[in-house]
Amino acid sequence: MIKHFFSRLSIKLTILYSSLFMCIFAPTVLSYYYFTLTKIREDVRREFASSEMVFRQLMDMRLAQISDSVRLLTQDFGFREAVATNDTRTIDSALENLGNRLRVSWAVVVDADGAVISGAPVDDGRRRALNTLVSSAENGESATDVAVLDGALQQLVAMPVNAPELIGWAVFGVEMNASELQSLSDKSPVRFDAVLLHVSDAGEWVQTAITESAALRPDVLQFALRHIEAGDEKIHEMKAPQGAQLILVSALPVAQAARPVVLVLRVGLRDTLARFRDLLYTQLLIVALGVVLLTIGSWVLSLGVTRPLTQLAAAARHFGQGNYFELGLQNRSDEIGRLASSFSAMAGEIEDRTRQLKAANANLESRVAERSKELSEANEKLLIEVEQRRRSEEALLVSKTKAEAANRAKDDFLATMSHELRTPMNGIMGIVHYLKGVEMPEDSRKNLDILEESANALLTILNDVLDFAKIESGKVEIHKETFSLHGLIAGMEDLWRASANGKGLDFSVDMRFDRDAMFVGDKTRIRQIINNYLNNAIKFTQQGKVALSVEIAESAGDTAWLRLCVSDSGVGIRADEIPLLFEKFSQLEAGKARRFGGTGLGLAICRRLATAMGGEVGVESTLGKGSDFWCTLPLRKSEARAGALGERSDARGDGVNSGCGARKDLRILLVEDNEINVRVMRLFIEQLGYRVSGIARDGYEAVTEVIGSRKWDVVLMDLRMPNMDGLEATRRIRKAGFSAQALPIIALTADTMESDKRACIEAGMTDFIGKPVSPAALSSALERAAASLVHPMTSVA
């Protein structure tokens, strides 16, 4: 019910209007009241302050009046004569005469020393006041004082009597008339209480009321005393339980500071302001009346808006029921009139639209039926298509699986080929190496040299093809190991110098980097790139020089950019051939006389390796003058320094000679299934001064041999063998308690991939010789094994 009431627009508008008006009206009235109140408070203060001023002025005027009269008396010749001659009777009558006229409380004449000559009786209080007064009179001038005497505030005047010397004082005491202050309080709009505070003989504060009011309440007294002692002479506001009080403290001028007289005026603010409460009531009444008037006015106003709206609503309702309804509001000139016109226009338009809509509707139905048919047909088609798509995807999956299988087959083929090709090469190389150590006629030696060269070339081609195949199949493995760049380069320098010098070329190496710096990267691959570049350069240069420069070109953070460059004074490359240079199977002068054999894979391998390591390769060349092949590679800088890691072993590398005083009495067990390889190994081992003490044909035999009767110092273990392979055999031997120190096992394998090497180390092998075996590699491996043997003769528990 109430909700319904407030949802009416006229009520809402009324409330809105009234509250808007109230928002403006009420603050105005209230701020006016507040302003008035503040003003009144100020006025009360001012009035209060002026009352005190008037009171003090009254006192001053009284004092001046008395002083003047007394001065006249003391300058009278007869009075002077009377004082000079101690004529008490005359003095008394003079004092009485003047005293009556001035309504003084008491009057005396004292001589120059203060002794009373004549006048009213002098008690202790008067005596004290008199002495204070006369002694305060400076140099015979007149003096005044305020003291509380005989229970009342008295103003005292002392006037000197000169004849012409100072012969005495006329002293008058006049009681301060309370009626003056009372009438001041009565006439003031601020009715105040006045109290005098003075110090009694006992040293305590005593209050004497001046006006008709009661004495000060203790808390007010304390408040006033606090301010008197602090010396604050002004109006103070005090918060008291009976309402805020204004307290005025005013010390009267006294001759003796030890006996102060203080006038205290008090006014209760609440009582004073009570008179102004009527103002508040009047204003509240005005506000209330205003609210009523505003509400009525707002109601009338809102009806002016809502009545046409109600009519409009009725019209809309009729129209909704399909009937026309004459509004009769269109003639109005205001917004309501415009609204009514718009409404009528809208009604007409809606009427038209409705008609059109009905026609269109009929049309639409037939078209919808048509469309539905088309849609169902398309849907069927789509289903068929989806089915087809699904089938083709299935087919794709099958072919993908097949392709993957083919890829795996290719990988397996490659791995097998790698092994199968190396094994016969091993035999050829082995025999060639062996034969070179045998004496033979000169022409046979020449033939042997040709054989060796051919074998080497074949091996190179074989390595390149296998390497490239591995790279192409994505099996390139980049190692992260800490190495000395200087050690790496220095280890290669001598071999290549020998190779270049052998062809009559100058060879120089320029290293521009910190020789002690260590880097993290794949040194084997870096060596491969350098070897390829140098190999090419020497191959294609007929005369002049080949130079290798290595530098750390750029260093950012912990990444150092290695830049390798191989320069030659060879034939150079035509500009249009450069882009093809790093493509596979690309060789210059292709189709023409192929003067310099090779697979044409070297540079392609370089590029792929460099890319795999995050670097780049390139060449700058001038035809007929020479070429600069370069390669940039990012390396991580290592914290370590050369020497700490003993990386110098690279410097030794492949160039180690056999027999450096190492032990030759090693009992060597050769595990090899291939008869040719057995023979080659035996030849090599014996050529190096060792002896093969036993042969096992497969892993099983090897395990039996090692664990069984014989004691062996070193095992040379082929990896691919029937029955049991080398890895399994090694694992079993290690499991049986033969430690690496007690029995080094050296792997012999054509599988030169890194993963194979890792598998060897994991199985427990201590060293690794790649096939085809070179005598140098065999020699150093055997020496390392001999050196690592701690107790070669100790039996295994």
Partner 1 sequence: MAARLSIRASLAALWSIAASMGAAQAAEISVVVHDERDEAVTDAVVILTPASISGEPQAQAPHSGKNASYEIVQKDMRFTPHILVIPRGASVVFPNRDTVRHHVYSFSPAKRFELTLYGQDETRTVTFDQPGIVAIGCNIHDSMQAYIYVYEPRQEAKISEEGRATFRNIPGGEYTITVWHPRMKPHDAEMQRVVRVEASAAKVESIAIPLRPARRPVRASYH
Binding site residues, partner 1, CB under 8 A: 71, 75, 77, 80-81, 84-85, 112-113, 139-141, 162-165, 167
Q: CB of 166: closest distance to partner 1 in angstroms?
A: 8
Count the alpha carbons within 13 Å of 371 in the hemisphere toward its beta carbon. 6
Residue type at 459? L
Cβ proximity of 153 and 259 under 8 Å: no
712 burial level (CB within 10 Å; 0-12, 13-18, 19+): buried
Q: CB of 141: closest distance to partner 1 in angstroms?
A: 8
Neighbours of 217 (CB within 10 A): 14
Residue 658 makes CB contacts below 8 A (sequence gap 6+) with: 688, 689, 775, 776, 779
| CB nearer to partner 1: pick between 160 and 268 | 160
Q: CB of 140: closest distance to partner 1 in angstroms?
A: 6
Radius of gyration (C-alpha) of the chain in whole angstroms: 66
Q: CB of 170: closest distance to partner 1 in angstroms?
A: 14
CA distance 122 to 449: 162
Regarding beta strands 517-521 and 626-641, do their DSSP bridges make them parallel or antiparallel, or are they unpaired? Answer: antiparallel
| CB nearer to partner 1: pick between 80 and 784 | 80
CA distance 452 to 427: 12
Q: CB of 205: closest distance to partner 1 in angstroms?
A: 37
Q: CB of 165: closest distance to partner 1 in angstroms?
A: 5
| CB nearer to partner 1: pick between 98 and 721 | 98
| CB nearer to partner 1: pick between 75 and 508 | 75
| CB nearer to partner 1: pick between 159 and 604 | 159
Please name which of 349, 354, 329 lies closest in space to residue 341, comparing C-alpha atoms: 329
Distances (CA, A) of 604 to 168, 414, 479, 564, 698: 142, 19, 20, 16, 39
Q: CB of 160: closest distance to partner 1 in angstroms?
A: 10
Q: CB of 80: closest distance to partner 1 in angstroms?
A: 7
| CB nearer to partner 1: pick between 112 and 279 | 112
Q: Which helix (H) or strand (E) holds 475?
A: none
Q: Measure the N-to-C terminal CA separation of the chain; round to a whole number of Å.
A: 107
Cβ proximity of 767 and 782 under 8 Å: no
Please name which of 203, 238, 231, 191 lies closest in space to residue 217, comparing C-alpha atoms: 238
Please name which of 63, 156, 184, 169 lies closest in space to residue 108, comparing C-alpha atoms: 169
47 burial level (CB within 10 Å; 0-12, 13-18, 19+): middle
Angle at 623 between CA 618 and CA 626, to 5 degrees: 65
| CB nearer to partner 1: pick between 142 and 182 | 142
| CB nearer to partner 1: pick between 90 and 774 | 90
| CB nearer to partner 1: pick between 76 and 762 | 76
Q: CB of 63: closest distance to partner 1 in angstroms?
A: 17
Q: CB of 135: closest distance to partner 1 in angstroms?
A: 14
Tokens of 105: 């409380």
Neighbours of 791 (CB within 10 A): 8
| CB nearer to partner 1: pick between 60 and 385 | 60
